[in-house]
């Protein structure tokens, strides 16, 4: 299935049905009075986060989503049928933006979360509603309420606990393949990964989701390479795993390039907890490993770890370093029980 994380949709709610002007007509009843029914309510447009989806490709082939109009009222005080609602089923983590692509209408981050995008129009009143003691034969009825049309953007931000960042060929896909059942494409040329991949990894009886995004290069925030359009998929992560190619001849420049691109992107990525890892150490001897680690420390990297995704050396230690950040985020996001809250607003898990 092709990956798609941004698309435009056009939604329209249903119009309300018109009220009916009608009078009772029966044999031997000369003045039956009004009996026009009300119009039915138009259908609404909803968006719902569902399980089992990780792409917006369905909305590439169907961009127009129109709810059903309400049926008009009828004689004998019969109300028209309400229009059926329509539901846009989107993956968890989908942001719904207004036409300007900046105003956030809704952010569906939980399974089953629903949001109303366009409310259906109310049905108009029939002439039965306007009967009074002084106007016993009203010849007026209300039209149904007009529909609502909107142009919206759907943007998917994958929900992952750990986000992989690094230059092309830093070993991100190899790490994901070595620690999970994901099978991303792996090759010895840059930009092997063209779209994000997710994998579930486990360490010490704890599982969390890792997102591998295409590599960044210098000037990605200006659109170079694949740009920074995929960085949105690591915005929700609890921690970033920064992989650096230990066989690169420009180690410090590689490290600084990623730091600069995260700063240029914004959205709080540069402030996120980060685990920096010197990768591909299977091609280095002990002396080279220590020298390169010291070089990264001097450049400002803290707590640099050593790892090889190919030989799996140091992989478990890296996963254990990621685990506390993931658990801290989950604990912070856990709903609070009012019974556990003490006086003064303090809360203790």
Q: Report the distance separating Cα 141 and Cα 36, nearest Å.
A: 8
Q: Is 316 annotated as a binding residue?
A: no
Which ranges of the chain would DSSP assign to H, the alpha helix? 58-61, 172-179, 251-265, 286-298, 315-333
14 annotated to bind ligand: no
Is 338 annotated as belonging to a binding site? Answer: no
The answer to the question of whether 170 is labelled as a binding residue is yes
Is 215 annotated as a binding-site member?
yes
Query: Is 195 marked within a binding site?
Result: yes
Is 166 among the annotated ligand-binding positions? yes
Residue 54 annotated as binding site: no
Does the annotation place 309 within a ligand binding site? yes
User: Is 308 part of any known ligand binding site?
Assistant: yes
* Count of Cβ atoms closer than 10 Å to residue 255 Cβ: 23
Annotated binding residue 214:
yes
178 is in an annotated binding site: no
- Alpha-carbon distances of 337 from 110, 334, 346, rounded to whole Å: 18, 9, 12
Expressed in percent and rounded to 5, the helix, strand and coil fractions of the chain are 25, 25, 50
- Was 192 annotated as part of a binding site? yes
Q: Quick one: tokens of 141?
A: 């009825």
Residue with tokens 């091609």: 283
3-state SS, residue 69: coil
Q: Tell me if 6 is assigned to a ligand binding site.
A: no
* Residue 212 is assigned to a ligand binding site: yes
- Has 335 been labeled as part of a binding site? no
Element (H, E) at 171: none
Is 171 marked as binding a ligand?
yes
Q: What's the rounded Cα separation, in Å, for the pair 72 and 105?
A: 32
Is 260 annotated in a binding site? The answer is no
Sign, Cα dihedral of 109, 230, 153, 268: positive
**169 marked among binding-site residues:** yes
How crowded is the C-beta side of 77, counted as CA atoms within 13 Å?
9
Instruction: List, as residue ranges, the binding site.
Output: 166-173, 191-195, 212-215, 279-282, 308-310
Q: Which residues are annotated as a binding site for GTP?
A: 166-173, 191-195, 212-215, 279-282, 308-310
Which segments are annotated as binding site for Mg(2+)?
173, 193
């Amino acid at each position: 299935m092709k990956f798609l994380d941004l698309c435009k949709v056009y939604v329209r709610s249903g119009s309300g049905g018109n009220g009916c002007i009608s009078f009772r007509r029966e044999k031997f009843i000369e003045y039956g009075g009004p009996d026009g029914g009300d119009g039915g309510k138009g259908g609404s447009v909803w968006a719902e986060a569902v399980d089992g989806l990780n792409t917006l490709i369905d909305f590439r082939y169907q961009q127009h989503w129109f709810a059903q109009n309400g049926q008009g009222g009828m004689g004998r005080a019969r109300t028209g049928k309400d229009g059926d609602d329509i539901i846009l089923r989107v993956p968890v983590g989908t942001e719904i933006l207004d036409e300007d692509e900046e105003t956030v209408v809704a952010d569906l981050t939980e399974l089953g979360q629903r949001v109303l995008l366009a409310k259906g129009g109310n049905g108009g009143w029939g002439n039965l509603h306007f009967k009074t003691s002084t106007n016993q034969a009203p010849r007026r009825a209300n039209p149904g309420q007009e529909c609502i049309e909107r142009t919206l953007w759907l943007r998917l931000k994958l929900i992952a606990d750990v986000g992989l960042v690094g230059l092309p060929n830093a070993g991100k896909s190899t790490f994901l393949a070595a620690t999970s059942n994901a099978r991303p494409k792996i090759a010895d040329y840059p930009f092997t990964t063209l779209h994000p991949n997710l994998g579930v990894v486990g360490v010490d009886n704890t599982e969390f989701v890792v997102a591998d995004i295409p590599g960044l290069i210098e000037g990605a925030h200006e659109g170079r390479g694949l740009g920074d359009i995929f960085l949105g998929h690591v915005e929700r992560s609890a921690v970033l795993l920064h992989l650096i190619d230990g066989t690169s001849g420009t180690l410090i420049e590689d490290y600084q390039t990623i730091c600069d691109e995260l700063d240029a992107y914004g959205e709080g990525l540069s402030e996120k907890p980060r685990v920096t890892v010197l990768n591909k150490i299977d091609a280095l001897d002990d002396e080279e490993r220590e020298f390169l680690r010291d070089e990264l420390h001097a450049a400002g990297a803290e707590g640099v770890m050593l790892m090889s995704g190919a030989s799996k050396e140091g992989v478990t230690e890296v996963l254990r370093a990621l685990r506390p950040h993931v658990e801290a985020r989950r604990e912070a996001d856990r709903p609070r029980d009012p019974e556990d809250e003490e006086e003064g607003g303090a809360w203790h898990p």
